[in-house]
Amino acid sequence: MSLNATLLIQMTVFAVVVLFSMKFIWPMIMEAIEERNKSISDGLAAAEQGQKKLSEAETEVNALIKEAKQQASTILDQANTRASGIVESAKSEGTSEREKIISTAHDEAQQELTKLRESLRKEVAGLAISGAEKILTREIKPSDHKEMLDKLADKL
């Protein structure tokens, strides 16, 4: 229970231990802690930055989508107008075509009719003549009465 040389030894040991921990322990561990703190705070900042960029990109994307939608609807409108125009023009073309075909057919039919009527008339005339011939074979010579018969045929 008395103070003696142990005190001096303890003071020396204490000084050595403190110097050692000051040189080789404290700075190394502190450095690791600070470095980790820094990397964590950097990471957090980067995450925040990313979040910000993400929201920015989102608004940009939204604007783009809106624009695209608008464009699409304009294009759709144009296409609709165009389509109805095409349908309209096709309709009118068809109508005119139809009329043309009909009139052509009409003309052809008319011609056919005329032709038929001509041949019919000739046949009737032939029949009439042959009938008359049978009746008048003796009295009328075809060569003598040809002029008169042609006139008759023309009249029929």
Partner 1 sequence: MRLNFINKLLLSLVALFSIGNATAAEGTGCFGPTKEKEFTANEYISHHLSHCTVDSPLGPIHADSVFYAVFMAFLFLFVFYRFAKKASAGVPSKGQSFIEMIIEFVDEQVKDTYHGSSKLIAPLSLTIFIWVFLMNFMDLLPVDMLPKAGEMMGIKYMRVVPSADLNITFGLSITVFLLILYYSIKIKGVVGFAKELAFQPFGKAMLPFNLLLKVIEEIAKPISLGLRLFGNLYAGELIFMIIAIFTAGGGVMYLLDLGVLPLAIGQFILGLIWALFHLIIILLQAFIFMMLTIVYLSMAHEDH
Q: What are the residues binding partner 1 (CB under 8 A)?
A: 1-11, 13-15, 17-18, 20-22, 24-26, 28-33, 35-36, 39
CB nearer to partner 1: pick between 9 and 61: 9
Choose between 9 and 47: whose C-beta lies nearer to partner 1: 9
- Cα-based distances in Å from 152 to 8, 61, 94, 115, 148: 172, 97, 49, 19, 6
Residue 44 Cβ vs partner 1, minimum distance, rounded to whole Å: 15
Q: Cα separation of 94 and 107, whole Å?
A: 20
In our burial notation (b when 16+ CB lie closer than 10 A, e otherwise), range 16-48 reads eeeeeeeeeeeeeeeeeeeeeeeeeeeeeeeee
Smallest distance, Å, CB 31 to partner 1?
A: 7
Least distance between partner 1 and beta carbon 8 (Å) = 6
Nearer to partner 1, 18 or 64 (CB): 18
- Separation between Cα atoms, residue 25 and residue 116, nearest integer Å: 130
Residue closer to partner 1 by CB (options 3, 54) is 3
User: Cβ of residue 5: shortest distance to partner 1, in angstroms?
Assistant: 4
